[in-house]
Amino acid sequence: MAKVTGLDGIVAAETDIGHVDGENGHLIYRGYWAKELAVHYEYEEIAHLLWVGKLPDASEKQQFTARLASSRELPLTVRRLLDNIPREMPIMSVLQTAIALLSGEFSWPPTLEQAISLTAVVPTIIAYSYRSQLGLAPIEPDNQLSHTANYLYMLTGKQPEPAHIKALNAYLILGMEHGMNASTFAARVVLSTQSDMASAVSAAVGAMKGPLHGGAPTEVIAMLDAIGNKEHAEAWIRQALERGDRLMGFGHRIYKTRDPRAEALRHVTEALSSNDPWFDLAIHVEKTAIALLEEYKPGRRLYTNVEFFAASIMRAIALPSELFTPTFTAARVVGWSAHLLEQAQVNRIFRPQSVYTGPMPE
């Protein structure tokens, strides 16, 4: 029996939710270029697209936005858990535990209402946990704000800047879906047993916690901090390349050409560069680095990846590093739940085989 380590290249399901083509730099959500959706639409609209299969009209958008907003409040059981959980517990572990607790309220088969409920409440769990760890009182959701704006508001208690809302909105849209990645596969495996959606999403969070999957653009932020300003960029990057250092935020395992998510975030960042000095620095560093990489490593096709511009956004909105992966997770709940709704329609339990390599009895 042939084995494929890591299941690379093995087709585990058919899907019409999203398509990732690394060779050609394509990321597609239900027939639309994800990079175009990130620039021109709001989070709620793309959640509707992934769940329902089409972009909402004006009336549908209004109703759908209200349904998401009305589901943000923490259930009493989750609030009690968060009030008693150790403050030193990492937020991703808190999030996984809180979602698992919700499984008692969910049942098979998964529904759109369950997907809406989970997506709406996850940012509240993150913000509540973060502020609790700082010894600060939680901030209740503001249902008059958009999904993205409300998340920033619950973290700080301040009305967020429009430029920051727009940038984070694009990032969250681009984080919603990325094919049959490790966490999405984990979620579909759990749901295939006819377990509930909350348990499946909790399993996905467990996969996202791993540094080989969720990761964080922390090292990119450190690089931008070290460069400091545009005047130092070329000299700093040349020195790094001559030392043989890797430039953080360039190159990607999947994308062998330009990362479409990075292209979308670049577009947003360029449009907002006059509103925030960190966006302006990021645009300059990227252009300088691309030119120097071609000079020092010709033909390597090392382009900016999504982490580079994610770092500029996180730095601009002053999001602390411990919230990077949780924020990415909050975005991905939409994609996970869309896959779970799809899995339930054609469900068959995942049951791969293994090759026994141990000894045989005498």
Active site residue 42: no
- Check: CB of residue 308 under 8 Å from CB of residue 22: no
- Check: CB of residue 331 under 8 Å from CB of residue 201: no
Q: Which structure tokens are listed for 233?
A: 């960029």
Q: Which helix (H) or strand (E) holds 221?
A: helix 218-227
Active site residue 252: yes
Q: Which long-range contacts (CB under 8 A, 24 or more apart) does 88-91 make?
A: 88/133, 90/209, 90/322, 91/126, 91/129, 91/130, 91/133, 91/322, 91/323, 91/326
Active-site residue among 164, 307, 339, 342? 307
Find the angle CA(226)-CA(230)-CA(234) to the nearest 5 degrees: 80
CA distance 339 to 345: 10
CA distance 29 to 177: 8
CA distance 43 to 217: 21
Q: Which helix (H) or strand (E) holds 261?
A: helix 260-272
Q: Which of 15, 42, 131, 1 is nearest to 79 (CA)?
A: 131
- The alpha carbon dihedral of 306, 216, 335, 273 has a sign of negative
Q: Is the bond preceding 109 in cis, omega lying within 30 degrees of 0?
A: yes
Phi/psi of residue 250, nearest 5 degrees: -130, 135
- Check: CB of residue 276 under 8 Å from CB of residue 326: no
Active-site residue among 252, 263, 286, 339? 252
Residue in the structure block whose two tokens are 């560069």: 273
CA distance 7 to 12: 9
For the annotated catalytic residues, the residue numbers are: 252, 307
